[in-house]
Structure 1
């Protein structure tokens, strides 16, 4: 009697685990269409905070995945294995595991940093990139813009009504470069989470169930993760790129990040979302999805 062996569909809708690069990558599949890989930011949160993206699932087979040691993915207990190149190698290994010669790729914040670097190294494996409030350079211009935006917040209604919040958050941020006291991600976000939104009242609800990993936060910090200046190499990206940013994003701002990403990638498109901070799909979902759908149409992608 012959035993029939069932080979699981690695792109079937639902939750999966992929063994690649001596780790296990946890991922979710949803939607229909060409495959789009979307990593978590890499420095601590699981990918759950950015899912689902309902419109994306009408155009793509979405593969939302936890990067190494985040969420339910495993990772080595060796801080040297959390450099940017390790994350890029994992993305490519997951692409191969899923049997895809080419994919779309999208990322937010530190995930945006990853997908831009993946495009620099592996444009031949891509059909397109979506960079959402992505970080490309942590240089002097970025520091200047961040300071301007923090100072501007002091005069806004929420902070005028809650001056103690502003003072505590600002003091915390200013001390992060010199104060070596270990801080948990919960403490950091609890202290300054409002800064991530145009409407700071959204912070408490958005962050209350965030799945965070302090171990990988320490590992990535020790490797300068997100610290690589990508601007000089962005011209190597040869696929269509959509850059989306909130006009009031203080940490991955339109001036030092999005505009310079656009200037360095030929043919890329920049969409600035009004009255919006770091998370446009939460704060301004209608405009966010409208800009995405315009770009999807330009790429001749079909809605399922």
Structure 2
């Protein structure tokens, strides 16, 4: 049976980061300790609260700094002021406000690209790096990459349509005509399918947060439009003088993508990969104890 998570301890008053172009970014801190750990949520267009459960226990060792990236839920910003370059500069502004020389960063999903871009631009400003369910550090162009990613797309589609999703919908009594469902039931049906994409254990769907009003399509599209067509951060990662820890489920959007991660991690001498069995894109929900152990060990070995 999955473990119910608790609210993080040592909550501090929220504050707002004022950017040079007059956006205000929501910042929330938890924890005790001598070092900050800045958490980068996924997206683009996501927000931080879906990640809180992932850090249960970590706040006993570090001060965790969560923030909503510009354009996200608590950090409204006009789309014309949203770009990946602005996201990088926001992270540098946050570092300056925290008053630290080097950041410890934990990033999830697309947040790992932001972390890599920041490292590439400000290598002297980064210390600990932990990537959860990461994006690859370069745009694919070699034959082996394209072939592997084609296999991944096929496996991902099958993973998103697996039988367990429909069985859970039926088990919850939601296998009726859409018009017959209440709004609450419709939301639950949506969340089960959302869990089918992000979790290995679909039955853990009540623990899955985010999506719907917690996601800004406008912010996502603005950031994506500004992404470089070709990028490669492998050299920046390889030059980093501290270990880089990667934590990923063996069913991250299906069973194939972790093979891609293994390939690029093997080419970066200071990178360490921990694969969590029977876990998806949000491994802290599928395997909370194993994930928490891996995350705390990674942070203690890089900070």
The alignment's TM-score, normalised by the length of structure 2, stands at 0.75
CA deviations 1:21-79 (Å, max 9, x no partner) are 3221111011122011112224112111101412221221110011111121132331x
User: Which residue is 2:259 aligned to?
Assistant: 255
How far apart, CA to CA, are the structure 2 residues paired with 1:40 and 1:293?
Answer: 18
User: Which residue is 1:48 aligned to?
Assistant: 49
Structure-to-structure mapping, 1:9-158, within 5 angstroms: 13-22=12-21, 23-33=23-33, 34-52=35-53, 53-78=55-80, 81-136=81-136, 137-139=138-140, 140-141=146-147, 143-150=149-156, 153=159, 157-158=163-164
Q: Any idea what SS the aligned residue of 2:79 has?
A: coil
User: Which residue is 1:174 aligned to?
Assistant: none
How far apart, CA to CA, are the structure 1 residues paired with 2:274 and 2:88?
Answer: 25
Following superposition, the deviation at residue 85 of structure 1 comes to: 2.3
Is the contact made by 2:49 and 2:210 (CA closer than 8 Å) also made in structure 1? no
Is the contact made by 1:262 and 1:269 (CA closer than 8 Å) also made in structure 2? yes
CA deviations 1:223-276 (Å, max 9, x no partner) are 3479744345432333221100010002792122x3244224322211001100
Is the contact made by 2:107 and 2:130 (CA closer than 8 Å) also made in structure 1? yes
Following superposition, the deviation at residue 290 of structure 1 comes to: 1.3
Where in structure 2 are there 5+ consecutive unaligned residues? 1-9, 141-145, 171-189
User: Which residue is 1:194 aligned to?
Assistant: 196
How far apart, CA to CA, are the structure 1 residues paired with 2:28 and 2:153?
Answer: 37
Following superposition, the deviation at residue 161 of structure 1 comes to: 4.5
Q: Any idea what SS the aligned residue of 2:16 has?
A: strand
- What is the root-mean-square deviation of aligned Cα atoms in Å? 3.3
Q: Any idea what SS the aligned residue of 1:62 has?
A: strand
Change over 3 Å in CA distance of 1:261–1:60 after alignment to 2: farther
CA deviations 1:94-113 (Å, max 9, x no partner) are 10012111220111001111
Change over 3 Å in CA distance of 1:12–1:297 after alignment to 2: closer
CA deviations 1:164-219 (Å, max 9, x no partner) are 9xxxxxxxxxxxxxxxxxxxxxxx98865512211223346514676111221221
Q: Any idea what SS the aligned residue of 1:74 has?
A: coil
How far apart, CA to CA, are the structure 2 residues paired with 1:60 and 1:264?
Answer: 30
User: Which residue is 2:183 aligned to?
Assistant: none
How far apart, CA to CA, are the structure 2 residues paired with 1:195 and 1:12?
Answer: 31
Is the contact made by 1:196 and 1:203 (CA closer than 8 Å) also made in structure 2? no
Following superposition, the deviation at residue 135 of structure 1 comes to: 0.4
Following superposition, the deviation at residue 289 of structure 1 comes to: 1.1
The alignment's TM-score, normalised by the length of structure 1, stands at 0.75
Change over 3 Å in CA distance of 1:84–1:162 after alignment to 2: same
Is the contact made by 2:45 and 2:219 (CA closer than 8 Å) also made in structure 1? yes
Q: Any idea what SS the aligned residue of 1:235 has?
A: helix
Where in structure 1 are there 5+ consecutive unaligned residues? 1-10, 165-187
How far apart, CA to CA, are the structure 2 residues paired with 1:82 and 1:72?
Answer: 14
